[in-house]
Amino acid sequence: MKAIILTAGYGERMRPLTDAGHKTLLEVGGQTIISRIVAGLRDAGIGEIVVVTGHRAADVEEHLRRSHPSVDFVFVRNERYRETNNISSMALAFERMTLDDDVLLVEGDLVCDAAVFERIARSPHADVALVDRYRTGMDGTVVTVEGGVITSVIPPHLQSGDFSFADKYKTLNIYKFSREFCQKTFRRLLAAYAAIDESCYYEIVLGILIYVKKAVIHAEIIEQGVPPYSSTRQVRVLAAGGNIRAIASVDAQLRITGPLAAAMFSDAGIVTNDWRAADTGDIRPGAGMAVRVILPFGAVSLEYAVPLRPRLGDDPRGRIHFGFAMRFD
């Protein structure tokens, strides 16, 4: 099996971290993002690795040659990375490489457990995509899944208005394609579509092939755990807050002395930037205890709260914070 890593892009959304270097060369846990990917691919038994470069191409290529001298790299430069999108990078990779084996496709800015690559490489399905159930904060292409098979691909420009994310899955930008699919179907339409619109995404081509029933792409659904639990398989960097917040709380309060009181509470709420994308799966319940100073107009409290259904970014051990509540009579 061979692999393609797409690294041509700017990393605009990761600024200012990428102002002075390529996004794949950012370090996570003492190792660059792309080195983590390469190590995971090698652990999964991948031989040849094709790396499509563009922005700061020399930096990426030099880093990989120096850090992984035993790896069989093939470097393909997308010289027009400023005005093209990943469909052009994919078309270039297919044009320059020998498609004599199955292909594992990875986008170069992913941070994930190495076991993810072994899981998809060992999938019994010939053509498969890693997906996760959509949750608020995920952006990009989403898909519908029926019976373990992707039935439609919806790119971002088709997600406006009253679009519902309730039954959608987010693509995680890791795919496995069979040699036959790449040779006979995917490469041909990819090249043709790239010649028409080089600013679009390769997922659109996959969506067309699925729509006309020329491809069956299975969905490998990642069941996401929460750090520090060992079941964690996929990590994304998301903003913790949102512009819209709704929370409800119930507590039992016991006056200790004077204005000082103790309380136990449970709460549940949603933090989002778009009510249309929120569903019941986004409700985040919690419980905790507090020490409060009761004032004539409300209360100031020091609280210890534990998430009852932790998500990425939540510490399952809980956290301490200050709170203020206004009293209305």
Distance CA 139, CA 264 (A): 37
Q: What is the CA radius of gyration of the chain?
A: 24
- Indicate the DSSP class of residue 273: S
Q: Where are the beta strands (DSSP E) in the chain?
A: 2-6, 27-28, 31-32, 49-53, 73-77, 103-107, 111-112, 128-133, 142-146, 149-154, 169-177, 218-221, 234-235, 244-257, 260-272, 284-295, 298-307, 319-326
Sequence-ordered list of residues with C-beta below 8 angstroms from that of 92, at least 6 positions apart, any chain = 52, 76, 78
Distance CA 6, CA 90 (A): 8
The DSSP 8-state label assigned to residue 314 in this structure reads -
Q: Give the amino acid at 225.
A: G
Residue ranges of the chain whose pLDDT lies below 50: 225-241
pLDDT at 229: 41
Q: How do beta strands 298-307 and 49-53 pair?
A: unpaired
d(C-alpha 247, C-alpha 270), whole Å: 7
Site of tokens 């579509």 = 193
Helix (H, G, I), strand (E, B) or coil at 123: coil
pLDDT score at 127:
93
Query: In which residue are the tokens 């043709």 written?
Result: 192
The string of pLDDT tens digits covering residues 145-187 is 998 899 999 888 888 778 888 888 888 889 999 999 998 889 8
Q: Answer whether 211's CB lies under 8 Å from 100's CB.
A: no
pLDDT, residue 240, reads: 42
The residues, ordered by sequence, that sit 6+ positions from 50 with a Cβ below 8 Å of its Cβ are 2, 3, 4, 5, 73, 74, 75, 76, 93, 96, 97
In the chain, list all ranges with CATH 3.90.550.10.
Answer: 2-235
Quick one: DSSP state of residue 301?
E
Beta bridge pairs of residue 98 = none
DSSP code of residue 23: G
Per DSSP, the chain holds a count of helices (H) and strands (E) of 7, 18
At residue 227, the pLDDT reads 43
* Cα angle for residues 256, 262, 265 (degrees, 5° grid): 155
Q: How far apart are CA 28 and CA 100, in angstroms?
A: 34
pLDDT by residue (tens digit) across 29-47? 888 889 999 999 998 888 8
> pTM of the prediction?
0.66
At residue 329, the pLDDT reads 64
Q: What is the pLDDT of residue 65?
A: 92
CATH architecture of structural domain 2-235 = Alpha-Beta Complex (3.90)
Q: Which of 216, 13, 209, 219 is nearest to 133 (CA)?
A: 219
Residue-wise DSSP of 147-162: TTEEEEEE-GGG--TT
Q: Is 241 helix (H, G, I), strand (E, B) or coil?
A: coil
pLDDT of residue 230: 43
